[in-house]
Structure 1
């Protein structure tokens, strides 16, 4: 009777599970194709690091993240090691007295030991989980009832396993198991001792067996219908994740393609299967939203909600997408993705800093989703906040986004004899860029870099006329304009024989390095803090050290997006003493100027003031950075706390202390 009933339960449960999984996979097939099967060894190792070792949990040194990381390691390791025990448990329902003892004494003994330790590890993990939710109560996590249901199910699974092992240990007919368990299952043995269990309890054992099976099968079927779908999807999500740098790679749009349906993403089927899978994999841990500078300063944007809204939109439109021919999808009634599932205003609040992707334990690409939806709004609908629209129009008309500027393209070099790049004679093109050209405060970066390069004897030159890389257009969603500007630059670089470029803006560096090669422009690009560090290390640049203390603000597009962390800090000791802010490196807090938000009317608390306050509270004499936008945003933000001029680009500081050779 027991085998027959157990078989029915298994068939029904596994049948439903397979049906649900097939349905979820069919929904993924709605998305566009995307290759994520390259670099197999690297992907396998990353999967182990991220899913098993949980290293992403410790990427930001925040107490709750570390606590949650330890908790998840206990639970994940425990479940993985208990998996063979669950297989043994199910088989025993059909083959009485079945066990893995046929593996031989050494293997079986260690099997029992690790099963015993794993039960204890998961129980400890559960205690930590309940303590976190009822006592610590971190603000970033969701407090759904489903989370408590899952925790209770796991507790029941562990309790029934422990109970069944204890009853086997005291059963007279299990003398062989008992003899081994006394030595190799110390936790179960101790449990028997403190509870005083003894004798034969066949009814209780059967009750525990059936309860365990029922909870196990309920767990199996509930997971694909709940927020805990990540239990099954987190491991493949980490296998298919994008590998930085860059932190997030935006897909190229082929504007000449005949099958180009839309510019950007307006419907859920415009996303790739991987972007849809991100919704399945989301753990709802809230780290992305907790780290988001927009959300942290009272704005509506929540990266977690962006990913979850895509998933909910997919589910809401799922039956229509699966039952309607693809060519009729555009006309079908549906829940709109942009404007209904996701508020348009939220998309423009993103500074593209990448803090969300940096902390995501399953490699979700929130930023890519946001910018692809911006592309649709900008290029298809012509929608954008007023100041961003004006910046884009300025880019179209004048090749730079700084509308209303009183500076001319040559103003920054008045009174200077700056060399012009000559084909075959000049080694480096010193790329000036738009911010350094048209913002008076940022012009000092270019003046300082010219001084540094001349003192170090570097062969460099500039273009006769400065223009933008197009990066602001890309980040705001106008990919067509970015392509136009990039192709102009690439053609000029080709005519001039440019091979090496020094940038003074991380955004320029980012575009030159990651997006220009797609358009045929591959160069050896070096950001100015790295160039300075190389010159100091090689002895070509001598610095007179000052006694001042310096705190360094990491530009997002150096640290998070491109993993450039150490080189700028290697310059600081030559200038003074480094004092780190609490949030630094890849955990740095954004200045607020990225993603086109330099040209935005900001709601809520100002991001630049939040970061400037953090820098100011270090009591450092100088706040250094290596990005013109960071320089401008922090300079403005610091005005709330002091009238002193404390914010400088690293090039300015080096130029002031550089000695003539």
Structure 2
């Protein structure tokens, strides 16, 4: 009966040495992992617990099913490496259980047909792993001319190839020496035996087998021991990052507690990095998916998201007193638009925009360091309530001939229309506000605007100026609470995100709806009647970052356009 002989031809003293080496390798691995978690624990505690069902679901989808990795064609190679190494690990674990636990009890797990199936599965996994690692080497160090070619990763991948190939050579030696009936189930080993080992004596095969077994086994144990200290660290750091990610709304930024009494703001030293931030930064693999999608970098800005995170990772490894500015360029920080493309692309779910804002908070609140344009906009907004520096009395000039109602205390409105600075004061964008009023009237909606409306200061907050944002938020929330309304309607994605996701933390918990969702609802309910016979032709859709990426809202605008006869929509690629 076919059966797996784990230590065939291996002297007893070598077996004992291998077990001892296995214990040492495992202890080194455990020590390295402990060092990682000790580093996480040194930071201020911000890790959020709870929602474990959601966390485990995402872990299953992102890690075990490789969902985010497979969003790009190149992810197929990574997924192939992942799944094949999982199978090879399971195969090794089964062999250990079979030999060390089942066999002493008079049982065999890997015998008969079970063993033959085991052989076939591992044969396929091994061949696939060699192909995937080999192609990854060619892609990463041959075809990708713009990507950093790190020698350490190259050596590590070659080392993995060596372990895989030596495993097949080891199998070939067993096949050549024993000539088992099931040899046809291991075609790679059989091919090597017939072509390279044919003619060798049994003594020569046995000696070569012992040395190959030693080299293969030691190489495998070295690989295990090196995991926490090399690029392979991502096999446990990425799952930890995915599991402990923030589960708050993606567009949410935490309020600085006791801001008026705080002595330091944001991030300037490693010691200020929270446990969650350390977990995220440590999980970076340098895959550069964030870099590939960054619009700022594509436009020639000095920002490279991968280099930013790698800089923070290097700073984290340099000690608690390390100044982050030595590793992160402030000019790069200033050019980030916080569009969220990097976060959406990152397999480790590293929230780069939030890290950028925390770094900016230090520059803004401790050093007053802004670009000239941002400084001018903040000064104007704090002075006259809008970043354009226009007189507050002109805010509703767009509505002079529309007889737009202003909210009155005590009255109830279905919709309170938050117009926003852009639609109120930009001459090109005013048509948006005017069109929205016409739609509200066409749908027979009881609505009003708020005379006290002023800038939400979202742009200032993203630039790091938290104090200006909180001051404006407290004023806006107090004014909004004076009126009774069912929904707060916005046309600006940034206003929508701020009112929906950030104001609740300051006591402004309102029902906020974006105009695309509202219009789709009005069409569905029949309250908004569309004209027929007036086709709009082809309309290209560019999803706003703070609507699509931060709030996962992409369907309403498409649904509304599809309801218009003779209208075709075109999706904008690379957006």
- CA distance in 1: counterparts of 2:239 and 2:115, whole angstroms: 28
Cα displacement string for residues 411-460 of structure 1 (whole angstroms, at most 9, x for unaligned residues): 11122200122444311100011111121111111111001100110111
1:253 is the counterpart of 2:256: yes
Moved more, 159-168 or 16-25: 16-25
Once the two structures are TM-superposed, the CA of residue 9 in structure 1 deviates from its matched residue by 3.0
Number of residue equivalences: 554
Once the two structures are TM-superposed, the CA of residue 124 in structure 1 deviates from its matched residue by 1.6
- CA distance in 1: counterparts of 2:493 and 2:434, whole angstroms: 18
Once the two structures are TM-superposed, the CA of residue 247 in structure 1 deviates from its matched residue by 3.0
Change (3 A) 1:285 1:391: same
Task: Using structure 1 for the length normalisation, give the TM-score.
Answer: 0.78
For residue 564 of structure 1, the aligned residue among 549, 553, 565 is 553
RMSD of the TM alignment (CA)?
Answer: 2.7
- CA distance in 1: counterparts of 2:251 and 2:21, whole angstroms: 45
- CA distance in 1: counterparts of 2:158 and 2:67, whole angstroms: 26
2:245 maps to what in 1?
241
Q: Is the 8 A contact 2:173 2:197 kept in 1?
A: no
Q: Is the 8 A contact 2:412 2:485 kept in 1?
A: no
Q: Is the 8 A contact 1:503 1:527 kept in 2?
A: yes
1:513 maps to what in 2?
500
1:503 is the counterpart of 2:500: no
In the TM superposition, 1:22-61 aligns within 5 A as: 22-59=34-71
- CA distance in 2: counterparts of 1:100 and 1:283, whole angstroms: 43
In the TM superposition, 1:443-522 aligns within 5 A as: 443-522=430-509
- CA distance in 2: counterparts of 1:426 and 1:296, whole angstroms: 45
SS class of match (1:578): strand
Cα displacement string for residues 45-85 of structure 1 (whole angstroms, at most 9, x for unaligned residues): 211211122221243xxxxx31x211011100011111133
Q: Is the 8 A contact 1:426 1:461 kept in 2?
A: yes
1:592 maps to what in 2?
none
Q: Is the 8 A contact 2:384 2:392 kept in 1?
A: no
Q: Is the 8 A contact 2:234 2:285 kept in 1?
A: yes
Change (3 A) 1:44 1:179: farther
1:265 maps to what in 2?
267
Q: Is the 8 A contact 2:29 2:227 kept in 1?
A: no
Moved more, 460-469 or 73-82: 460-469
Change (3 A) 1:102 1:552: closer
- CA distance in 1: counterparts of 2:348 and 2:477, whole angstroms: 36
Q: Is the 8 A contact 1:412 1:447 kept in 2?
A: yes
- CA distance in 1: counterparts of 2:55 and 2:259, whole angstroms: 33
Change (3 A) 1:296 1:363: same
SS class of match (2:428): helix
Cα displacement string for residues 572-628 of structure 1 (whole angstroms, at most 9, x for unaligned residues): 234521122222xxxx2xxxxxxxxxxxxxxxxxxxxxxxxxxxxxxxxxxxxxxxx
Task: Using structure 2 for the length normalisation, give the TM-score.
Answer: 0.89
1:277 maps to what in 2?
279
- CA distance in 2: counterparts of 1:90 and 1:155, whole angstroms: 23
SS class of match (2:488): strand
Once the two structures are TM-superposed, the CA of residue 308 in structure 1 deviates from its matched residue by 1.1
- CA distance in 1: counterparts of 2:238 and 2:538, whole angstroms: 44
SS class of match (1:551): strand
Gapped regions of structure 1 (runs ≥ 5)? 60-64, 322-333, 589-661
- CA distance in 2: counterparts of 1:553 and 1:239, whole angstroms: 31
Q: Is the 8 A contact 1:28 1:276 kept in 2?
A: yes
- CA distance in 1: counterparts of 2:440 and 2:547, whole angstroms: 21
1:21 is the counterpart of 2:25: no
- CA distance in 2: counterparts of 1:138 and 1:459, whole angstroms: 60
For residue 332 of structure 2, the aligned residue among 346, 354, 366 is 346
SS class of match (2:499): helix
Q: Is the 8 A contact 2:407 2:450 kept in 1?
A: yes
2:161 maps to what in 1?
155
For residue 125 of structure 2, the aligned residue among 85, 101, 118 is 118
